[in-house]
Structure 1
Amino acid sequence: MHNQESRKVAPWYSRVAGTAAAAAVLVAGGASVVALNSPSAGAQDQSVSASSHSLSARVERLEDIEEIHQLKARYFRFVDEKKHDQLAALFTPNAKLVTDGIEWKSPQEFASTIRDLTGKAPSAHQGAMPEIKITGHNTATGIWSMEDLLTFPDGPNAPEGHHGYGQYHETYRKVHGKWLIDSVLLTRFRMDPLENWTPPKDAASEATPSEPSKAAADN
């Protein structure tokens, strides 16, 4: 009798065990689905997305600051290399420029005046310790410490040359993906007098009838 009851119970127990195992699988699977769709999982996804966006924003900010550094470097270089058309192109069309208390009507007037005053006289401009702040998607501000050696062609009405020290306070604007100078305020803390530049004499004018050239003497 005992053996018969055991044989009857065994199939029933197997079915129950199998059903329980299947239920466990379903419950585990459901728990996984719930976990994936739970608020905590969504929050984690949002956190990852926010972190990626934050990283992207920081990289873009650093790239913008470096582009502004390059922009100002070109400004100094174009002044010293006498590339006045390229200098004017570094500004927005309606940029406001004030240097040493003089307000210029346009970037082109500013660049043309530098060209007319300095001519071929050598100059040297440097900027340092930039404080660049990105203020918007397409706007920024900057403060630069500056030093310049500026001379003019020597003459009776020539401005006085100087070795100057001061600061540039500027704003920048990105136009069609390119950073440009939108305003300039140049103030100086100190200006030391500097002797103006005397153009070198032409080789042809150095030779006089009483001092024939070496080539003529050799003949």
Structure 2
Amino acid sequence: MNDVERLTAIEELRRLMARYVRYADQKRWQDLAGLFTPDGSFTPHKPDGSVWLRMNGRADIAATVGASSGPDDVLVHHLFSDEIDVESATGARGTWSMEDIITRPEDAEVNPDFPFRGMHGYGHYHARFVRTGGAWYIAELEQTRLRLDFAY
């Protein structure tokens, strides 16, 4: 790859992850899952490093992340400080610093799997990307946590 091709790939990957957080904020779970390869995986971790959830495939990702928030929840996701390594014309890896905030209305029904009223999290996304059919997709996404603050 020449420099222009590499920089173009980096910008495409930044935009892919920007769509990921926008779709999360807008609760567009099918669109979010469509950013993954058909067999893509998403694995969020707890601050202690243990796996919180493991999702495999678009249907599982859409259903699981969609079940984690209610219709009146407000979701805010931010990405910062990306590090992207384009390994080839069809493969790349990246790391983003991240922050997410979830707030639920006082009268919202409590979700037994996610019983908090508010959450403020900090950490990193670690992604492996593949390019197929002229577009980049997330093949693997891991979310590691530095800190999670909950309000009950």
* Same structural fold, with TM-score higher than 0.5 when normalized by the shorter chain: yes
For residue 155 of structure 1, the aligned residue among 98, 107, 110 is 110
Q: Which residue of 2 aligns with 1:171?
A: 128
1:114 matched residue in structure 2: 65
Task: Name the residue aligned to 2:138.
Answer: 181
Q: Residues 151 and 109 (structure 1 numbering): CA distance in 2 closer, same or farther, change over 3 Å?
A: farther
Q: 105-114 vs 73-82, which deviates more?
A: 105-114
Greater strand proportion = 2
- Conserved in 2, the CA contact under 8 Å of 1:142 and 1:171? yes
Q: CA deviation at 1:140?
A: 0.2
Residues 129-140 of structure 1 mapped to structure 2, 5 A cutoff: 129-140=81-92
Alpha-carbon distance in structure 2 between the residues aligned to 1:128 and 1:149 = 15
Structure 1 segment 93-108 matched on structure 2, within 5 A: 93-100=38-45, 101=51, 102-108=53-59
Amino acid at match of 2:142: L
> 1:76-110 CA distances to partner (integer Å, 9 max, x unpaired)?
00011011111111000111221121211323212
State the structure with more CA Rg.
1
- Give 1:69's aligned residue: 14
Q: For residues 41 and 26 of structure 2, what CA distance do their matches in structure 1 show?
A: 23
Distance 2:133 2:86 in 1: 17
One-letter identity of the residue aligned with 1:116: A
State the alpha-carbon separation in 2 of the partners of residues 97 and 137 from structure 1: 23
Amino acid at match of 1:165: Y
1:145 matches 2:97:
yes
- Paired with 1:133 and 1:193, the residues of 2 have a C-alpha distance of 34
- Equivalent positions of 1:1-219 (< 5 A) are 57-100=2-45, 101=51, 102-120=53-71, 121-152=73-104, 153-155=108-110, 157=112, 158-160=114-116, 161-194=118-151
Matches of 1:63 and 1:77, distance apart in 2: 21
- Flag structure 1 segments of 5+ consecutive residues without an equivalent: 1-55, 196-219
Length-normalised TM-score, structure 2? 0.85
Provide structure 2 residue ranges, at least 5 long, that are not aligned to the other structure: 46-50
Query: What is the CA RMSD across the aligned residues, in angstroms?
Result: 1.7
Q: How many angstroms does 1:128 deviate by?
A: 0.6
Counterpart residue type for residue 155 of structure 1: V
| Greater relative contact order (CA < 8 Å, ≥ 6 in sequence) | 2
> TM-score of the superposition, structure 1-length normalised?
0.60
